[in-house]
């Protein structure tokens, strides 16, 4: 301890007072030497320094003035002397060093092993055993949806599609070129013929079904639909046309056929509304139906003048 007074000469008064105020931390010789050094330095070293009040905060800058730079805080007082000078301090610190760096990897490996073990146990408890999987009942088959007893599938026979343009082209093929030179008359003839064939072909289909006893459950609405197509044709007859001889003959045949077909469709519509099997029974209607083939054939090939008995 001969060198201890020399070491204490380099210490500050605060460090010396720390030794004196905490005698249980250091050797008695060191504490006594610190007391002697404080007495040697005089009363100012023995008495604790009066703490200086903190500096007042700067006033906020006025508008337009630059903000003042905050002063840097003073450096803290020097800490106690390093542990190298005090063996007791070294001994105390060594008592709380729990694990050396060389031993820490073993702690990490042990922690990972514990986590993996817990995860394996959880999977084992959640996984069903083979016997439980074998005895587990298969999922019940989904029962088919029950159909409503009041609804039944109704077979329907749609009206076939007929290309009216092709029938108009056949009729125009029988018209001389001289009658087709007038573009306005040609367009009028084409418009009337399109509406005629749009109603004539479905009419022949429905009448043929009724006479063969093959009317379907939606036969009544289909008849009403075709009657509406004949109404579209009748709207073209409110105008007068200046057709040539062949075009005028075709128009006259169309009017007669429209009358016969509309007559037959109305009789079938009455049967469907009365819930009777649709069938043509009227003698006049049947006679008119027998007159249709020659009237229609004249629209597809050259024929003599039409003679109709009404």
Cα-Cα-Cα-Cα dihedral sign, residues 145, 146, 151, 152: positive
* Within-domain flag for 88: no
Residue 148 CB-half CA count within 13 A: 4
Would you state the pLDDT for residue 5? 65
pTM: 0.49
* Within-domain flag for 122: no
* Within-domain flag for 1: yes
Which residues contact residue 25 at a Cβ distance below 8 angstroms, ignoring those fewer than 6 apart? 88, 89, 92
In whole angstroms, give the CA distance from residue 310 to residue 306.
13
* Within-domain flag for 82: no
In whole angstroms, give the CA distance from residue 13 to residue 24.
19
Would you state the pLDDT for residue 294? 93
Would you state the pLDDT for residue 64? 54
Would you state the pLDDT for residue 57? 58
| DSSP per position, 17-81 | HHHHH-GGGS-HHHHHHHHHHHHHH-HHHHSPPPPPPPPPPPPPPPTTSPPPPPPPPPPPPP-SP
Buried b (16+ CB within 10 A) or exposed e, 9-42: eebebebbbbbbeeeeebeeebbebbeebbeeee
Would you state the pLDDT for residue 225? 95
Angle at 228 (CA atoms; ends 223, 229), nearest 5 degrees: 100
* Within-domain flag for 153: no
Domain span holding position 36: 1-46
CB count in 10 Å sphere of residue 270: 13
| Stretch (H or E) spanning 154 | none
> How far lies 44's CA from each of 76, 78, 176, 254, 258, in Å?
20, 19, 143, 139, 137
Q: What is the pLDDT along the chain (310 residues), one digit of tens a residue?
A: 455 666 777 788 888 888 888 888 888 888 889 888 888 888 776 665 555 555 555 555 555 555 555 455 554 444 444 444 444 444 433 443 434 444 445 455 555 555 566 655 554 445 555 454 445 555 555 554 544 445 455 566 789 999 999 999 999 999 999 999 999 999 999 999 999 999 999 999 999 999 999 988 899 999 999 999 999 999 999 889 999 999 999 999 999 999 999 999 999 999 999 999 999 999 999 999 999 999 998 887 654 455 554 4
* Within-domain flag for 62: no
Asked if 16 and 45 count as a contact pair (C-beta separation under 8 A), the reply is yes
In whole angstroms, give the CA distance from residue 302 to residue 9.
145
Would you state the pLDDT for residue 40? 86
In whole angstroms, give the CA distance from residue 90 to residue 97.
11
* Within-domain flag for 150: no
In whole angstroms, give the CA distance from residue 56 to residue 71.
11
Question: What are the residue ranges of helices labelled H in 100-218?
Answer: 104-126, 130-135, 164-172, 183-211
In whole angstroms, give the CA distance from residue 158 to residue 160.
6
* Within-domain flag for 289: yes
Number of domains in the chain: 2
């Amino acid at each position: 301890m001969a060198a201890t007074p020399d070491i204490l000469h380099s210490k500050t008064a605060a460090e010396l007072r720390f030794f004196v105020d905490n005698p249980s931390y250091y050797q008695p010789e060191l504490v006594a030497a610190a007391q002697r050094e404080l007495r040697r330095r005089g009363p100012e070293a023995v008495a604790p320094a009066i703490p200086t009040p903190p500096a007042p905060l700067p006033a906020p800058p006025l508008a337009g003035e630059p903000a003042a730079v905050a002063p840097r805080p003073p450096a803290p007082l020097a800490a106690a002397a390093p542990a190298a000078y005090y063996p007791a301090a070294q001994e105390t610190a060594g008592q709380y060093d729990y694990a050396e760096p060389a031993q820490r990897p073993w702690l990490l490996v042990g922690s990972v092993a514990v986590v993996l073990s817990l995860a394996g146990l959880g999977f084992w408890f959640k996984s069903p055993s083979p016997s439980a999987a074998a005895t587990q009942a298969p999922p019940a088959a989904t029962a088919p949806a029950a159909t409503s007893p009041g609804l039944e599938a109704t077979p329907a026979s749609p009206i076939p599609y007929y290309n009216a343009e092709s029938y108009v082209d056949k009729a125009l093929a029988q018209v001389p070129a001289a009658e087709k030179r007038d573009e306005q008359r040609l367009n009028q003839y084409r418009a009337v013929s399109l509406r005629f064939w749009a109603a004539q072909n479905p009419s022949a289909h429905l009448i043929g079904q009724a006479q063969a006893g093959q009317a379907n459950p939606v036969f009544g609405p289909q008849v009403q639909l075709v009657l509406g197509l004949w109404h579209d044709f009748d709207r073209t007859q409110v105008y007068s046309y200046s057709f040539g001889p062949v075009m005028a003959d075709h128009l006259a045949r169309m009017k007669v056929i429209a009358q016969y077909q509309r007559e037959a469709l109305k009789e079938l519509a009455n049967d469907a509304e009365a819930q009777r099997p649709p069938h043509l029974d009227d003698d006049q209607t049947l006679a008119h139906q027998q007159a249709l083939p020659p009237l229609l054939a004249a629209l597809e090939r050259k024929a003599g003048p039409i003679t109709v008995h009404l």
